[in-house]
Structure 1
Amino acid sequence: MKFIFGKNDLKNFERGQENCYLITNGLGGFSSMTIIGSNARSDHAMFMACTKAPNNRFHLITKLNETIEIQDKKYDLSSQEYVTYTKNRKGHTLLNAFKFDVCPVWIYQAGGVEVQKTIVMKHGENTLGVQYMVRNHTDKEVEFKITPYMQFVNKGMRLNVKQIFETGNEQIKSNGITLFYNTNGSLELYQTQYEEELYYAYDARDGRDAIGCAAHNHRLCFTISSHEEKECYVVYSLKNGEESVNNMIVAEKKRQQRLIEQSGMVDEIGKQLVKSADMFIVERESTNGKSIIAGYPFFGDWGRDTMIAMIGCCISTKRYEDAKNIFRTFIKYCRKGIMPNTFPEGDNNPFYNTADASLLFIGAVYEYYLYTKDEEFVQEAYSIMEDIISWYKRGTDFHIHMDTDGLITAGANLEQVTWMDVRFGDILPTPRHGKPVEINAYWYNDLKIMEFFSELLGKMTAEYGNLAKKVLTSFQKKFWNNDKGCLRDVLSGTVADEQIRCNQIWAVSVPFGMLTREQEKQVVDTVFEKLYTPYGLRSLSMEDKKFKPKYGGSHFERDMAYHQGTVWAFPLGGYYLAYLKVHDYSKEAADTVRGQLEVMEACLREGCVGQIAEIYDGENPTISQGCYAQAWSVSEILRVYNKLQISC
């Protein structure tokens, strides 16, 4: 899809900062700013490099300030908000259009000069290219100047005004980092200056530190003759060498087109989501494998998120080798039946505080097999899947164990081991200790999968099938809430049991469910009535006393609302898959889902262009919140488009 924003979309500074772009390099590095070229967050950066994939990220180039000089007239193309608002740069008034397809493109017009700016990242490298096509329609000579604003700090840190920058010989050195650059412009050096009042409006919205600092000590200068069209460029890289920006753009276009062709996706929104999903698949240096970034700009790669996201990001897109690579990465670190929730960096140990990552792993292997019929890999993964089931039966860390009724219980004290895992000090906003509904839906699903795999591989054990029967009986007896026509969220003996939450939808959407068809339809209907919005499912019914209508404010306020009604995009995929399932994938059901999914085109234009955000306000989900690009949000909607294409 090609996204175009014209001047009517950029009516004022605030409107121009509502949207941003994102491009990535497959290492965890990225480039992301607003569509007017400003930085509205501390994590907005023209060049965020990654020195050790995927989480050792450094904010190198904040932005490039561009000016056009025609004799005694000067036009500032840059946009930026400052604490002292009188200093605001308002280059957005000269911006005719922002376009995004493969790369972000800006088109400026000032004094008879047109400037088209394109940014591209080289996949698999910490290399960023910036190209300007400057068209001088006047009979005067034009000076075009670029001033890089720099930080050279760890992602999330603030630049200290005592930090020293050394520029020369096509290198910029600071804070132990050497950044190489090549350009066809001339270098003009001056004493380092520090901009200490950069204002990040979207950090302020979220209760974060909203004031930033950047340094500059040089500009790149270009001369464009009368009626001349000239390419002006600069390439930044952590490796020494010369790159052609044009070649980088062509290579990236071809790479993305190959991904779309490989996926076989035919729907235009589906094709866009294939490209969006690609941005989350990264190298992980510590394991010499691949992983999936949970979300930009805040998150790293997490076990639970990866196991959910990889079905859409890798399997639905036919990136089967990437899927196996990610599986093997997690298999390597499985301990006592638990997949890591976060991976080690340096000498640190993994964190294993998740009850669902391992169960989701088995479900993902099954989805992989359905698409590939790769029996050899099932054989490779079988022993670790056996180990997971064994540990869950006899008990493992974080109070995860099978009770006498066959159901899984998990968590105690201050442990938060489901995806509703917020903990603020000693406060648990959503304690789900006991038997969470989705954990037990995954548990039964995995037992049936293991029954299938054991037969496939000639193991011929009755263990999994027999236990599955026991789980089914207990689940139907204890989780079904006949009065409300839905499933209890958890079995804990507290008021939380009766809350209507989105977690129940996965008891329907999994391949092997435990409910009757009538019960499944009731769950789907209840979820639509109480929780459905076009951009996601509410995490709690609006009728609940603990429902929070808005997400925002301080860290504490955000945590208190995070799973208390806030709309999450990724469960919407489970809803649509469940809806199609209970209606036997009929043409009528498919038409209904396609009709409801049409709003995704508008969703992809809001917030981060071409992406789906993590969360939205619970009462009226109009503005993206949290991570502006979330892997499982994109993945789960992509799964739906794939299901519509192959089954309906």
Structure 2
Amino acid sequence: MIEIGFGPQVVGDLTAGGSREWLLTDGCGGYAMGTVSGLRTRRYHALLVVAGATPAARHAGLVALDPVVTLASGAQVRLATHEWASGAVDPRGHELLERFDLIEGVPRWRWRIGDTVLEREIAMTHGRPGVAVVHRLIAGGPVKLALDALCTWRDAHGERYADGPPPRVIPTADGATVEQAYRLAGPGWTPTGQWWRGAHHREEAERGLHPQEDLWHAGRFGGSLEAPGDTLDVLAWARDLDDRPAPAASVVDGARERNRAVVAAARPADAVDATLALAADAFIVRTATGPDVVAGYPWFGAWSRDTMTSYEGLFLCTGRADEGRELLRAYTATLSEGMLANTADTGSVEYNTCDATLWYLHAVERHVALTGDTDLAAELLPALRGVVDAHLAGTRYGIRVDPADGLITQGAAGEALTWMDARVYGVPVTPRLGKPVEVNALWVNGLAGVVALARRTGQDPGGAPTALARALDTFRLRYPAPTGWLYDVLDGPGGNDLALRPNQLLAWSLPHAPLEPDPAVLGTIGAALMTPLGPRSLAPDSAGYEPRHRGGPAQRDAAYHQGTVWPWLVGPYASAVKRLGTEIHVLFGGIESHLREFGLASVSETADGLAPHVATGCPFQAWSVAEALRARRF
């Protein structure tokens, strides 16, 4: 894996260090997350965030363990860093940080207080919600170490305040339980019970959301570190509160060992490949119904479009085909009227996408093509034929094959059914009613995949061959525009849409793409859209272009697909130009640098369309990682 580490000029600066975030996951949808400086800049930053019935139904629990060192001289030094509603930063422990390192997926901090050096490592248990925090004296001593436990129990998207009841904290033999939801365990527990008011989250303020909350100081762990090598460890875990995890040091060692195994199973070609393979692991979770995919951390849950778009990179490029097989079978069971369920973060099941099901067809075909799993092909092919039949007949939201030309048309008032689905005050920004180019590229690709799977298994392909021939001919005839690129949407309310967007890349990048790549067209697209982190969602000289993805929710959503960079699209772009025989690794230079800049060892959801293309959105995004990994591999 690539080396990620920062010295005092980064970790000691709250702008530089506060913008670089680390993430640990528990394989259930929960996580621990924070910044390399130790400053909590988001409401989502905590040491224990627990997933509920769905990966998105998360609660924040243990917020922080603030170290306080008492030196032999009697001087007390506080090593935490907090920002308050007053604007004060107190304490300022980041100024004593010597370095931060991310080593085999485990974050490590070192503070220096003169000749005393203290180290912290954090790891999560896997397969259950729990976190281990290990403090080790590296040099100096003896010292006394106290750890102030700051707690809450609230929806991860919200806040909790002192005007309500404090969390219920019940002492145990070696710590406490909080709200009967999670347990803390470690040496020298002393209960306290006090509100710390006005913790400020600067990133939430930047995003136009409420930036303050109050934290409950539940108590303090403590002990002596007499000589280098001595440790003071704390565990926190949820569910099965009487089932204590392994000792904290064993959890940390086990996390490293598991991370090494995850990377080895992916058979990486280089250090970047290895880093992306481990990043992919964070998004694959196991729920009560089997494997699933978290679309992004810290705020997304499972979305079928993101899952299927990410499928090849997350599962087939990482040696996890068996889990992928299980996932594909489970998602097949959600098909209704030829559409894949889109399980929103609210936990409700909706069928409100026109492309997720087509990405599902792609995922099944790629699974079989790369694994040779004809048994799965034979099992799922009847369902895939049902998808084709439903689209030919017409299904929800006006999604149907137009009998006049064989292309899929879609749309309903007030809906945005493509991946460009942002809304402002409930109104779609890019409804794209009609025949979107990427939807019909996916339709052609999906039909060809069904034909290929039927040939492999000796089954009847149903209506797919006829539909494929019709759609392919029409696509090649109708989508090329006089401007030299492809129309973004055909037959929309205002006619054909000439906007220069990256959606057309799928027409050349998919395995069964409808078009052969044209150097001149791809050159035009690259010149207008490409940035170091991937293509913009709209060319800068277009009407409605927004150069920055900033501000409150309405402002950000208005810019979401109007010029904002989407790193996942570097995958289709790279695949398209690779078909020209072009060397593609140069396309990933910006993303490789980005692995050290925002969500550490991962790839962000979005970035500004305007240089320097500052990353925005989720710092850790599934399809951004998956497509970078896939495109570099194949």
Tell me if TM exceeds 0.5.
Answer: yes
**Alignment RMSD:** 1.8
Distance change (3 Å), C-alpha of 1:468 and 1:394: same
Relative to structure 1, the CA distance from residue 68 to residue 320 in structure 2 (aligned partners, 3 Å threshold; closer, same or farther) is same
Deviations along 1:578-598, whole A, 9 cap, x unmatched? Answer: 110122xxxxx23xx212323
1:165-564 matches, cutoff 5 A: 165-169=168-172, 170=174, 172-175=176-179, 177-183=180-186, 185-190=187-192, 192-225=193-226, 227-238=227-238, 239=240, 240=242, 241-285=244-288, 288-342=289-343, 349-404=348-403, 405-461=405-461, 463-494=463-494, 497-518=497-518, 521-564=519-562
Matched, 1:120 2:123: yes
Taking structure 1 as reference, are residues 242 and 558 closer, same or farther at Cα in structure 2, changes over 3 Å only?
A: closer
CA distance in 2, matches of 1:76, 1:174: 24
Which residue type is aligned with residue 406 of structure 2? G
Tell me the CA shift for residue 527 of structure 1. Answer: 1.7
Q: Distance in 1 between matches of 2:38 and 2:124?
A: 16
Residue 344 of structure 1 deviates from its aligned partner by: 8.8
**Change over 3 Å in CA distance of 1:491–1:606 after alignment to 2:** farther
Letter in 2 for 1:524: L
Q: 1:355 to 1:529 in 2, by over 3 A?
A: same
Partner of 2:8 in structure 1? 7
Cα pair 1:487 1:523 within 8 Å, conserved: no
Deviation digits for residues 358-394 of structure 1 (CA, Å, limit 9, x no counterpart) = 1111111111112111100001111111111111110
Q: 2:607 corresponds to which residue? A: 616
- CA distance in structure 1 between the aligned counterparts of 2:269 and 2:281, rounded to whole angstroms: 17
CA contact (8 A) 2:487 2:496 kept: no
Q: Is the 8 A contact 1:127 1:236 kept in 2?
A: yes
Q: What's the CA shift string for 1:130-174, capped at 9, x where partnerless?
A: 001114525xx4211100111111211211322233241145344
Partner of 1:625: 616
Q: Choose which of 103, 108, 111 in structure 2 pairs with 1:105.
A: 108
Following the alignment from structure 1 to structure 2, what is the Cα–Cα distance between the partners of residues 565 and 167? Answer: 51
Confirm whether residue 76 of structure 1 aligns to residue 59 of structure 2: no
* Secondary structure in 1 matching 2:213: strand
Q: Which residue of 1 aligns with 2:627?
A: 636
State whether residues 417 and 431 of structure 2, in contact with CA within 8 Å, keep that contact through their aligned partners in structure 1: no
Pair 64,513 (structure 1): closer, same or farther in 2 beyond 3 Å: same
Cα deviation, 1:226-285, whole Å, max 9, x if unaligned, reads: x45311100111232252122212222222222222211121101100000000001122
Q: Deviations over 1:79-103 (max 9, x none)?
A: 1111112353210110001001221
Q: Is the Cα–Cα contact under 8 Å of residues 504 and 523 in structure 1 kept in the other structure?
A: no
Matched residue SS, 2:380: helix
Residue 424 of structure 1: how far off its partner (Å): 2.2
Q: Please, which moves more after superposition, 392-401 or 599-608?
A: 599-608
Which residue identity is paired with 2:484?
K
How far did 1:462 drift? 7.2
TM-aligned CA deviation for residue 221 of structure 1: 1.0
Cα separation, 2, equivalents of 1:522 and 1:334: 40
SS in 1 for 2:343: coil
- Distance in 2 between residues matched to 1:332 and 1:104, nearest whole Å: 39
Cα deviation, 1:371-429, whole Å, max 9, x if unaligned, reads 11110000111111111111111000011000021000011211111000112234221
Matches of 1:559 and 1:30, distance apart in 2: 26
Deviation for aligned residue 1:38: 1.7
CA gap of 1:74–1:171, structure 2 versus 1, over 3 A, is: closer
Matched-pair contact (CA < 8 Å) for 2:12–2:37: no
Higher deviation after alignment, 569-578 or 252-261: 252-261
* CA distance 1:496–1:419, change in 2 (3 Å): farther
Tell me the SS of whatever aligns to 1:622: coil
CA-to-aligned-CA distance 1:300-350 (integer Å, 9 cap, x gap):
0000000011110001112101111111221111111110111697xx641
What is the number of residues matched between the two proteins?
624
Distance 1:178 1:513, change over 3 A: closer
For 1:453 and 1:370, locate their aligned partners in 2 and report how far apart those are by CA, in whole Å: 9
Say whether the 8 Å CA contact 2:598–2:604 is kept in structure 1. Answer: yes
User: 1:516: Cα distance to partner?
Assistant: 4.0
- Which amino acid in the other structure matches residue 251 of structure 2? M
Distance 1:329 1:343, change over 3 A: farther
Shift of 1:56: 2.7
Q: What is the rounded CA distance, in whole Å, between the counterparts of 1:512 and 1:493 in structure 2?
A: 29
Distance 1:505 1:511 in 2: 12
Q: What letter corresponds to residue 445 of structure 1 in structure 2?
A: N
User: Aligned partner of 1:432: which letter?
Assistant: R
Sort the Cα spacing of 1:603 and 1:491 in 2 relative to 1 into closer, same or farther, 3 A: farther
AA in 1 matched with 2:61? L
Question: Secondary structure of the equivalent of 1:104?
Answer: strand
The equivalent of 1:88 in structure 2 is 90
* CA deviation vs aligned residue, 1:39-65 (integer Å, no higher than 9, x gap): 100011111122435233110011111
Q: 1:88 to 1:637 in 2, by over 3 A?
A: same
| One-letter amino acid of the structure 2 residue matched with residue 89 of structure 1 | P
Q: For 1:547-626, what aligned pairs fall within 5 Å after superposition?
A: 547-583=545-581, 589-590=582-583, 593-626=584-617
**Comparing 244-253 with 324-333, which one deviates more in the overlay?**
244-253
Q: In 2, distance between residues paired with 1:228 and 1:540?
A: 56
1:623 Cα shift? 1.8
SS in 2 for 1:277: helix
In 1, distance between residues paired with 2:461 and 2:325? 26
Identity %: 26
* Residues 136 and 142, structure 1, Cα contact 8 Å, conserved in 2: no
Change (3 A) 1:85 1:485: closer
2: distance between equivalents of 1:474 and 1:445?
Answer: 14
In 2: Cα distance, 1:473 partner to 1:31 partner: 51
| CA–CA separation in structure 2 for the residues paired with 1:87 and 1:483 | 55
Per the alignment, do residues 268 and 87 of structure 1 end up closer, same or farther by CA in structure 2, a change over 3 Å counting?
closer
Whichever residue aligns with residue 538 of structure 1, its letter is: R
SS of the counterpart of 1:261? helix
Measure, in 2, the Cα distance between the counterparts of 1:420 and 1:344: 17
Q: Whole-Å Cα distance in 2 between the matches of residues 260 and 504 of structure 1?
A: 33
**Residue pair 1:505, 1:523 contacting (<8 A) in 2 also:** no
2:167 aligned residue: 164
Conservation of the 8 A alpha-carbon contact between 2:337 and 2:390: yes
Q: Report the residue type matching 1:594 in the other structure.
A: H
- Distance (Å, rounded) in 1 between the aligned partners of 2:319 and 2:181: 38
Q: CA deviation at 1:490?
A: 4.1
